[in-house]
Amino acid sequence: QKEVEQDPGPLSVPEGAIVSLNCTYSNSAFQYFMWYRQYSRKGPELLMYTYSSGNKEDGRFTAQVDKSSKYISLFIRDSQPSDSATYLCAMTGSLTGGGNKLTFGTGTQLKVEL
Amino acid sequence: ETGVTQTPRHLVMGMTNKKSLKCEQHLGHNAMYWYKQSAKKPLELMFVYNFKEQTENNSVPSRFSPECPNSSHLFLHLHTLQPEDSALYLCASSQGGTSGGTDTQYFGPGTRLTVL
């Protein structure tokens, strides 16, 4: 069993839709949860991170963590064609001290169509 | 230049060649990372350097050899690679040390490597 499971997609939605992206994980030591966005031919860029359980909102993006279910989600409201990218979840037990090991999901490819 | 840069962006090499990938970060960070990204697979951490010291070697074959001469530069030396080593190689950096805050990683654009 992989430590982090993520549906690779592709996921295709119409412009303006609410998008839900999800990951499940098995390691209960994970405390920090991140979402990265990767455009084609680019490196991943950090969208947001959440510590432990709860919600975090940033503009059109909301990250949710449910540690009891080992389940994390990223919601994108009013999706735009510019949101078309691969979304990677990542997690780690510690995010201080430098040299932290992140465990990534495979990424979900999202396409937002006009 | 800003952020994390990587050169070359594309590289094609034969199995007997020797080549090097270069990464430079302009963020004042102290930790640097090499990752391998293959299609349909999660990013695989290869090496970690914190304050120029290697702190992680994730069971990487010896045909990959990292070098970190200072906190701003990271190299990946390649020799006698196999076709299955073809992938996107990503460099990342983070604040590192005892920053007291969250040590988030920032990625470069990657080098697309093809081994013939």
A9 exposure class (CB count in 10 Å sphere: 0-12, 13-18, 19+): middle
pLDDT at site B45: 93
Of B50, B97, B102, the CB nearest to A95: B102
- Say how many C-beta atoms besides its own lie within 10 A of residue B113's C-beta: 21
Q: Per-residue pLDDT for chain B (116 aa), expressed as one digit of tens each?
A: 579 999 999 999 998 889 999 999 999 999 999 999 998 899 999 999 988 888 888 889 999 999 999 999 999 999 999 999 999 999 999 987 655 556 788 999 999 999 99
Q: Which of residues 36-65 of A touch B (CB under 8 A)?
A: 36, 41-46, 49, 51
Give the strand pairing for B53-57 and B111-115: unpaired
For residue B53, give the amino acid letter: E
Give me the helices (H) in B18-86, please: none
DSSP A21: E
How much is the pLDDT for A35?
A: 97
The whole-angstrom distance between residue B103's C-alpha and the CA centroid of its chain comes to 18
Cβ separation A43–B108 shorter than 8 A: yes
Cβ–Cβ gap B107/A43 under 8 Å: yes
Q: CA-CA distance, B47 to B76, in Å (whole number)?
A: 10
pLDDT of B55 reads 84
Which residues touch A36 (CB under 8 Å, ≥6 apart)? A44, A45, A46, A47, A87, A88, A89, A90, B107
Tokens representing residue A76 in the block: 């994108």
B100: left (phi over 0), alpha (psi -120 to 50) or beta: left
How confident is the model over A73-108, as pLDDT tens digits?
A: 999 999 999 999 999 999 988 766 666 788 999 999
pLDDT of residue B102: 66
CA trace torsion A49, B42, B38, B27 (10° rounding): 30
